[in-house]
Amino acid sequence: MRARSGTAVVLLAAVAGCGGAGEPAQEAKRITIASAPNVFLSALYVAKDDGLFAKEGLTVEIVEVESGNDSIAALASGQAQYADVGFEDLAELSKAGDDSVVMAHDILNRVTLTLVMRKEVAERKNVTAASPLRDRLGALKGLKIGITSPGSPTDTYMRYYLGSVGLDPERDVELVPLGGGSALLAALEQGQIDAYHLSPPTPYVAAEKGFGVVLIDGPKGEVPELDKFDYTAWATSRQWAAENAATAAAFSRVLAQATVKVKQQPDAVAAQIMDDLGSSDQATVLRTVKAMTSALSDRGCFDPAVVRRTLDVMLRLRILEDRADAAEGRLWTNEYNGC
């Protein structure tokens, strides 16, 4: 499940497209997306704001959700056609016997969780962003660490970080579930927690306001094991995509076009997506857009070797309990990406 901020789903309108009696079914042109505001989804906002979806005859609605569980539920029930999720979400679903959802367009090729610590705590622990990675992670011992929710990436990857330096998540730290980015940022500022990690921008905000120190900058790929790693992708209903293949291909094609703008015009994109993010801090949004560009997939195409590595690493890190099938067609497909 992706680490998120946002408001829980109140209502998701089911979308269906069908022809008249005796006529072949017409492809759906209306797409509902279950997601939460995040800079790594800039291509989605650009595509919608620039009218790229409309040029393909698509009507796209973004419905805000609180957690990855909400996204998966929306996909599985048919209430949404796309959601940004992780391979662990689909692997768990498949393990339970549900293969109704498939990854259809890659988004991020590394884990972008960014670790920020209260400035005075970092000074007391004598660590900086320049310290060896092992020292930065070892400095978490004895701290209160904020997470979004139990079982979320902020929880599972933090447990990996702790275990990698011999710390016990149950004994050596206190993991505090607080919800989304705004709650984590406020708790850090008020001293209710000592550290947290989340995809930017909120860790950058803490540093820029002077009460936080970024110790691991996720978009830069500072943790080698979590680089070249399929962290987040657009998933869709397998049945819906098969029945609406042209629409699914158009959706991926538009996202690839918009990604080019995100990578080539970060200043313009940062100004453009402020309302989509509900932010007024353009400088931090710009910093985050620029940071994220190197982690974004260019065309949304999945690399079979990277998928295999991702699932192997997830198994080794105990994010997955059992080995997942990395073959195309099982958890992922490039069928709609033109790869």
For 296, other C-beta atoms within 10 Å of its C-beta total: 21
Query: Going by C-beta distance under 8 Å and a sequence separation of 6 or more, which residues neighbour residue 48?
Result: 60, 62
Q: Look at 17-21, 88-92, 129-133, 150-154 and tell me which has the smallest mean pLDDT.
A: 17-21
Which pTM value belongs to this model?
0.85
- Assess contact for 60 and 299: CB atoms under 8 A: no
Query: Domain spanning 114-222: which superfamily?
Result: Periplasmic binding protein-like II (3.40.190.10)
pLDDT bracket for residue 24 (50, 70, 90): very low
pLDDT bracket for residue 14 (50, 70, 90): very low
The pLDDT value recorded for residue 65 is 78
Q: In the CATH scheme, what is the code of domain 30-108+230-316?
A: 3.40.190.10
Element containing residue 221 per DSSP (H, E): none
State pLDDT tens for residues 33-88. 998 888 999 999 999 999 999 999 999 999 987 655 678 888 888 889 999 999 99
Both tokens of residue 279? 């932010």
d(CA 310, CA 161): 16
Q: Residue 11: pLDDT above 50? A: no
d(CA 127, CA 117): 10
Query: Going by C-beta distance under 8 Å and a sequence separation of 6 or more, which residues neighbour residue 66?
Result: 4, 6, 7, 8, 9, 36, 179, 180
State pLDDT tens for residues 104-125. 999 999 999 999 999 999 999 9
Q: Residue 22: pLDDT above 90? A: no
Among candidate residues 233, 225, 192, the one with its CA nearest the CA of residue 44: 233
d(CA 167, CA 287): 32
d(CA 94, CA 125): 43
Instruction: Name the residue ranges covered by the structural domains of the chain.
Output: 30-108+230-316, 114-222
d(CA 308, CA 327): 8
Q: How far apart are the first and last CA of the chain?
A: 26
- Assess contact for 36 and 211: CB atoms under 8 A: no
d(CA 92, CA 72): 11
The pLDDT value recorded for residue 18 is 39
Q: Residue 3: pLDDT above 50? A: no
The pLDDT value recorded for residue 7 is 34
The b-or-e profile of 198-217 (16+ CB within 10 A means b, else e) is bbbbbbbbbbeeebbbbbbb
Q: At what angle do helices 87-95 and 68-77 cross, to 10 degrees?
A: 60
Q: Residue 31: pLDDT above 70? A: yes
β-pairing, 144-147 vs 195-198, is parallel
- Tell me whether the CATH fold assigned to 30-108+230-316 matches the one assigned to 114-222: yes
β-pairing, 59-64 vs 30-35, is parallel
State pLDDT tens for residues 240-283. 999 999 999 999 999 999 999 999 999 999 999 999 888 888 99
